[in-house]
Amino acid sequence: MPSKIPEGETRGWIVPIGGAENKENDRHILERFIRVSGGEHADIVVIPTASRMHETGPRYEKLFNDLGAAQVTVMDFDTRRDCHEAGRLRRLEEATGIFFTGGNQLRLTTLLGGTPVAKLIRVRNANGVTVGGTSAGASILSEHMIAFGDEGASVVSGSVRLAPGLGLTNRFIIDQHFRQRDRLGRLITALSYNPFAVGIGLDEDTAAFIGPDETIEVEGSGGVTVVDASDLTYSSIGEVSEGQPVCMLGLRLHILVAGATFNLHTRLAAAGGLVQAKE
């Protein structure tokens, strides 16, 4: 469950990235991650646990150092026992930004889920620390996580499996590599299970910077697909058999690009400052 924000405090930024963010020429996403993590005073902990490639952590360490972070530490976890180590917990207490790399989101949740590290990251975010991730590292940030599912535009019963995520918030469900891997159907199917959450589909090299006021601000070269099921009038998900198409009426869909916003509380979208009111 999301941690309660202490009285007088503001929640930190939550920054899911759709994967394959530009790391060479136009590094606006990672640059902004540093800015919202303290700028020149940013103290970043990189968690590469989702990846089995040994170079992943050092690569992001170099990137964040080159972009001006004051301090960067790579913290990997090989066993759940690692998540109880006092030294690791103290280091996370010091961080102003925590970043999860890509890889396999189930590797992350099975190693970190239910541990002191997972609880501390939720608490730190509730106390103002920025937490973000790319690809699999984006998927885990919310309470409800897409573990795996079928690609394509069709909404099909049983075509997606959900698992508990890190639980920074319960307001959205993330899907990444969105247009590149044709994942609209699985995101809407996930929402059919519980229309409370907002579906956020992140294209590659695109991030949703979600501020303390629950507003999504888009950064990057692609788009963010927002699926709002709050006005859903009908769903057949509870009536059809697994493998059958699902009927859903009343969905609202927005395509946001850099500079556009969506408020997760009011469910209002804006493009270039022009608010599109909810009907």
* SS3 of the chain: CCCCCCCCCCCCCEEEECCCCCCCCCCHHHHHHHHCCCHHHCEEEEECCCCCCCCHHHHHHHHHHHCCCCEEEECCCCCHHHHHCHHHHHHHHHCCEEEECCCCHHHHHHHHCCCHHHHHHHHHHHCCCEEEEECHHHHCCECEEEEEECCCCCCECCCEEEEECCCCECCEEEECCCCCCCCHHHHHHHHHHCCCCEEEEECCCEEEEECCCCEEEEEECCCEEEEECCCCCEECCCCCCCCCECCEECCEEEEECCCCEEECCCCCEEECCEEECCC
pLDDT for residue 165? 97
Catalytic residue numbers, as ranges: 135, 177, 204
pLDDT for residue 279? 43
pLDDT along the chain (279 residues), means of 10: 86 98 95 98 98 96 98 98 98 98 97 98 98 98 96 96 96 97 97 95 98 96 97 96 97 96 96 56
pLDDT for residue 8? 85
Architecture of domain 14-276: 3-Layer(aba) Sandwich (3.40)
Phi then psi dihedrals of residue 175, to 5 deg: -130, 145
pLDDT for residue 76? 97
pLDDT for residue 273? 55
Closest CA to 172 of 153, 191, 158, 155: 191
Structure token pair of residue 251: 């969905």
Q: Residue 103 and residue 264: Cα distance in Å, rounded?
A: 27
Contact, 239 vs 250, CB < 8 A? no
Give the β-pairing of 206-210 and 215-220: antiparallel
CA atoms within 13 A on the CB side of 184: 15
pLDDT for residue 82? 98
pLDDT for residue 2? 83
